Structures are given as C-alpha cells and as structure tokens.
Structure 1
Amino acid sequence: MRGGAAAAGALGLGACGVPAAYVAPGDRTAADRSAREHELDFANWPLYIDTDDSGRRRPTLDAFTRRTGIRVHYTEEINDNDEFFGKVSPSLMNHQSTDRDLIVISDWMCARFVRLGWVQEMDRGRQPHVARHLDPSLRDPAFDPGRRYTVPWQSGITGIAYNARKLGRTLHHVSELWDDDLKGRVTLLSGMDEAFALLLQGDGVDITRWTTDDFHRMCDRLAPRVRAGHIRRFTGNDYIKDLSSGDVLACQAYSGDVIQLQADNPDIRFLVPEEGAELWAESLMIPDRAAHKRNAERLIDYYYEPEVAAALAAWVNYVCPVPAARDVLAASKDKETAALAEDPLIFPDDATRRRLAIARDITARERPELARRWSGTTGV
C-alpha cells in the first residue's frame, strides 16, 4: 500500500532540510474544537476498514459514534504515499490546516512527516489502550522513538508469494527467486521503499543498520538480472493479477494480500525467507493544526481496545498491532473467525517473529542518491 509540481517542490525542500519546510513545535497546534464539535475528519486508504455486507456501513466506526457521539467523516482518499504528500504539503509547509484530523500513511513516509514537524505529538494520557496493547515490536521505530507522533493502524510483512503447485516445490530463500526455472516469471515491487529491505536481507544484510554501500551492492547484483529479463517487471499491487493468472510463479508480496488470495487459491503460499523479511506498519498521525485533536486521539485509542482491534483484523487480514486481539478472535463461536487467531500472517508466531525486522528508514540526505540508483537499476 502507497506528484505534480507541488509535490516535487515539497519533496525537494524535505530532502534538503530547507528551514522553510520545517514547522517548529510551537507552530503545529491550532485551537482544538473537539469539546464543542463532536466530529473529526479521517483520511485512509481504500478497503482498509471493516464494512457490512452492503459495503456502505462501517461497523466499528458506527459503534464509536454511538458510544461517544463523535461523528467520523471517513474518506478513502489515500492511494499513493507520494501523491498524498503532494496533496497536503503546500498547507503543512505554510502552517495551514489540511482539513484532516487523522491520516494513515506508510511508516517510511511517516518518517518524512515527523522530520519536517508536520504532525503533532499525541497525549498518551488520553490513550490508555495504546499504552497497554501496542505490539512491543512496533513501539520504538528509529524515526519515532517511543511512538510519540505515530500509532500503527495495521502492520504487515513484505515477503515472497508463490504458487507451490505450478512451481512444483517450496521456497525457503530470497536467492531462489533467481533460479533458472523462474526466469521471466518473477516480479518485484517497484517502489524503492517497499522493495529494498527484502532484497538487502537476501544479501545477508541487517536491515536495522544497513548502509548505502549495502544498497549499491544490492543494485549491482540486481542490475544484470533486470537486463537478462529474469525479472518480468516491477509492479505495484497489481502483482496480485500476475500471480493469480499464473503469468508469474513467484513475487515480492505483502502478507495481507496473500491471505486474500489464498481464500480463492490454496496453492498460493507466503514465505518469510530464512534470511528474514521486513515488518512494516502504516500508521495513524494527527497533522499540524488539526481542528479536532482530542477527538482523533480518542478514536485512535478506541481501535486499540482488543475487541475493536479483533473486528478490524478479521476484516482486513493484515498483521494486527494489538496482540491481545488474538484471544478475542480465538473465543469466537464462528469457526472461520476463530481460525484467524492461528494465522501466522495476522499473529506471527515466535519463530516467524525472530525472522522479522523493521528496516532503518532512508534519510533525507540519502534519498536523492539512492532514488537515482534505484531508478537506473530497475527502469521505473
């Protein structure tokens, strides 16, 4: 899950650390209207919240409104991290409201917002469920130590999906993507931030402390495979179509997508390679000058109640950032729902967790050089 002139300008300012783009802590808040306006504006990705059978109602949001009286204006407007950055950056860099109280973007982009001072620190005193139930493995990312500015909405694993029946064997390592019988039948993710960590892990690199030399060495190994046509193409989420059709036998993939694919095709497997895989999150943030900060904090904490987190996890099927939700699902009288508690792609077991790592984010100083190298290597 992921520009225009405004986006390019904002990206340039952020990458160069130009003071005009940075917002100091004292300029981030606006008068909070939560007490008199029982509402908030929440921007999220498509298909990233529970809905009823009609697809028109959102049960967990409706329950929040019944309990609190706070109406949530929910929009599915985020389709690409960079595109959304470009949409809101002119307001944020000019110390203006985005007309949004809560947003969800990928952690690598969250890192950019945090560095630029474009998000507000949350009051954990108002979020006891976050403090109690947030998965320990997600509590302390390098870009936001202690999660002062961000809270995971959902988490996931970037690993390898493959069709075990058509391939005729099981896979165990990233290096097996380069086997001769997979030439032209492999896809990788096109976005540098989505793709690089797993490829580094395949080279034996600790992604919590990777270096630019590691990145360039990985590209050196990838380039001849691109030229030889071993990699069919670099994709966004459309790898799902290639894998489902059989045009691709193995691909870099997100764990939540594979759970959905397996419902229709049990031959699809998801691999957390022996070398490891990347654990990532897409996180909730309250942008600068949000008009309903306290309401937003309240909604965030609501989704960290185990019963609510379980309802969301049962619908979206990504790694749940609330481990206590597992017991709620396990107690369900519905067998399919109860089975989700044992799914390692929603609640990774200890053996899987030992192979997962959160990648060090790409710094503003590193990004221009690495982006040029990635584009030159992959052609995207």
Structure 2
Amino acid sequence: MTGALAAVTGCGVPPAYVKAADRTGPDRSAADRRLVFANWPLYIDVDDHDKQRRPTLDAFQRRTGISVTYTEEINDNDEFFGKIGPALMNHQSTGRDLIVMSDWMCARLVRLGWVQEMDRAAQPRVAKHLDPLLRTPHFDPGRRHSVPWQSGITGIAYNRRKLGREIRHTSDLWKDDLRGRVTLLSGLDESFAMLMQGDGVDITRWTAADFHRMADRIRRLVRRGHIRRFTGNDYIKDLDSGDVLAAQAYSGDVIQLRADNPDIEFVVPQEGAELWAESLLIPNLAAHKRSAERLIDYYYEPAVAAELAAWVNYVCPVPAAREVLASSKDKDRADLAEDPLIFPDDSMRERLAIARDITSAERTEFAKEWNGIVGL
C-alpha cells in the first residue's frame, strides 16, 4: 500500500488531490471534549519519576477539560504516510486530530490537500511567538496549514580533539586528513540542502543544475573513498567511538552526545546550514479541529514552550521561551537559554535557511540519482 501511495502522490495524480471544500467535516469539539495526538517517540516532556505522565500535556488537560489521547506511533515519515494515506485518499477520517511530520512530508501533505487550514484567529500565541525564521516555508506560505512543534539544524558534528583543527566550512570535510573518516546522511531530503549550501547555493531557490552539480561532487568523493559511509542517526555511535571524526548531523542529537563526550562540537558552516522543523498538522475530517488548534496554541505560550525545550533539547520555535529559561533559579535550566543549538544566536541565525522542497515532478529523478550514490 505504501508503494502504491508513493507512486500516486509522487506523480501528482489528480484523483489523490482533495479540494478545500472536501477537507472539513462536522467539528465535535464543543460536545466531545477530547482529541487524538500522534507524535514521534521521546518528543515531549515526561515526569522523571513517572514516565506515563507528561507534565505540559497534563496541565493542558487540567486547564481545558479536554482529554488527550497521546500516541507515539510515528517512527518514519513514509511508514506513517502509508498508515494514514488510504483514509485521506478516500476522503475518510484518519481517527487522529493532530500529527507531527517532517518538512518534506508536510510539503507532500499540503500539496495533496490532505491537511486542513488552521484558524489563526483562534491561535493568538502562534501568531505572536512563532520564530520569524520559520514563518514562511516554501511548501506552506504563511504557515496556514502547519505549525512547528520543534525545529533543528542540519550541520556538521566533529571531534575537535582527535581531528586537531576546526571545521568552519563544508569544504573542510573534503580535506585529506578526513579521508575515510567522514559520513553524510543517507536520506535525500535530510542531506541535500547543506551540501548545496557548501557550493554557495541559495537553498530557498535552488535549481536542478545546482542539485546535479552537488551530486557529481559527492559521487567523486565516494569513488575516492573519502566518504566512509552514508548513515541514519547511527552516525552518533561512529562519532562517539572515534571511528568517524566528522559527520553531517542534527543539532538535537549533538546536544545529547556532547553531554557524554565534550570533545564533540557542532558547527553551522560559514556558507550556511538548513533550518528544518517537524510540524503539527490537522488531517482532513479531523473530528476535533478547534480543540486541536487550542492545543497547538497552548504550546506557543512561552512558559510551556520553555518546559518542552528543556526536555527535548531541539531548536525552540518560540524565541520568547529563552527569557523564561534564563530566569530559572535552576542553573542547568538557565544554561539552556545560552545554548545556540536551542536558541540560535544572531550570528548563527544569519546562516540558517529553510530549503525549498523537492517537487513531485523532481523527486523521481533526484531520488534515483541520490540513491545510486548512496547505494540504496
């Protein structure tokens, strides 16, 4: 089923598209005070003494009287797409009111008309506090259909002590002392933007020529044995063991890795790095749309956003949460306010950009070329 869905949606076949008028159904929020929220594992704060308790979510339920069924059922974008796609394609409810998807999957769902436009008038905190860097992604102008849950940066992690030098540019990865000791991310959507930025490309408006030029460079590096391998999140193990000295990496992973290995550093290259988000979406025919919008807006209250950021350690999409953490009497929490991987400083922010997404027309060609390089 997943393969069939990918074939249909990847090619933009018209029957898969749902018109705006067919996306909404009767909203039962007033009479039925509950909602279903599907998220990724380990992506919300939990109580240190009772892992079944989620303090911010519990507080929302007490405040509003809305009961939230929270499921950690999203482990992979494509896998979850295959789970909910048949219902959405056939104009049926998924049984979920809120889901969290990565940028490139958000782009697919928005393009297909499978998620609803939100009522920003009912979300004043989102309107006020959403980070300006995240307000205008190419796939969803004005963020009408999506709201970032958490954000992150795809940059470079490296072992400063073992490498014996700094990494400041993407091109520093290709120097001889890193031959066979560097890894890149295997996923096309996760890897391409930062690599193109290393060639000086504006990733908000990159072209096919930019992609092919980048791919040619990586292909040559693979042939020379410079790139050790392409990875998922398992690059963490390679960096920690010292088998790899530098890796294309996610900022959130490196915060955790540095806690155990202070020699690991994360850098946003001078040419820039990709800022991405995993965003909240309301699927078509969700039965509790207004309650879902209310929950989204709740997480944009700076104090709530600060609680979440202190636990998950990704880039917080609510800059005002920084002041909340800075004022904490707990030193560890206060220190988080100064961590640029949670609240990027001005210098770093100038080098971050959201890439334009890969269109359905481009995806088949580009995926084939990239997978051939990676060996998939």
TM-score bucket of the superposed structures, by smaller chain? over 0.9
CA distance in 2, matches of 1:134, 1:204: 28
1:93 equivalent among 89, 105, 130 = 89
Residue identity opposite 1:282 in structure 2: E
CA shift for structure 1 position 8: 1.6
In structure 1, the residue matched to 2:14 is 19
Instruction: Deviation per CA, 1:222-257: give whole Å up to 9, x if none.
Output: 112112221111111111111111111100000011
Q: Which amino acid aligns with 2:10?
A: A
Secondary structure of the equivalent of 2:86? helix
How many residues are treated as equivalent by the alignment? 375
State the distance in 2 between where 1:308 and 1:39 align.
20
> Deviations 1:110-159 (Å, cap 9, x if unpaired)?
01000000000001111110011001111111111110000000011000
Query: Which residue number corresponds to residue 61 of structure 2?
Result: 65
| Structure 2 equivalent of residue 3 of structure 1 | none
Structure 1: segments with no counterpart, 5+ residues: 1-5
> In the aligned structure 1, how far is the partner of 2:12 from the partner of 2:52?
43
Shift in Å, 1:7: 1.5
Deviation at 1:38, TM superposition (A): 1.1
Aligned pairs (5 A) from 1:111-150: 111-150=107-146
Q: Which amino acid aligns with 1:349?
A: D
How far residue 84 of structure 1 moved from its aligned partner, in angstroms, is: 1.0
Other structure's SS at 1:263 match: helix
- Kept in 2, the 8 Å contact 1:10–1:21? The answer is no
Give runs of aligned pairs for residues 185-334 of structure 1, distance below 5 A: 185-334=181-330
Does residue 166 (structure 1) correspond to residue 162 (structure 2)? The answer is: yes
User: How far does residue 55 in structure 1 lie from its aligned partner after superposition?
Assistant: 2.1
The structure 2 residue matched to 1:41, chosen from 15, 30, 36, is 36
Amino acid of the residue matched to residue 84 of structure 2? Answer: V
Q: Secondary structure at the match of 1:146?
A: helix
Identify the match of residue 10 of structure 1 among 5, 8, 11: 5
Q: How far apart are the structure 1 equivalents of 2:177 and 2:21?
A: 59
Secondary structure, counterpart of 1:152 in structure 2 = strand
Q: TM-score, normalised to structure 1's length?
A: 0.97
Following TM superposition, by how much is the alpha carbon of 1:181 offset from its aligned partner in structure 2, in angstroms?
A: 1.5
* Cα RMSD after superposing both structures: 0.8
- Whole-Å Cα distance in 2 between the matches of residues 16 and 265 of structure 1? 45
- The CA deviation string for residues 68-97 of structure 1, in whole angstroms up to 9 with x for no partner, is 111111111111111111111111010011
The more displaced of 299-308 and 222-231 is 222-231
Q: Distance in 2 between matches of 1:8 and 1:58?
A: 35
3-state SS of 2:361 partner = coil
**Unaligned residue ranges in structure 2 (runs of 5+):** none
Give, in angstroms, the shift of residue 353 of structure 1: 0.6
Q: 1:30 aligned to 2:25?
A: yes
Give the Cα–Cα distance (whole angstroms) in 2 for the partners of residues 110 and 123 of structure 1.
Answer: 18
Residue type of the partner of 1:119? Answer: V
- 1:333, CA displacement in angstroms? 0.3
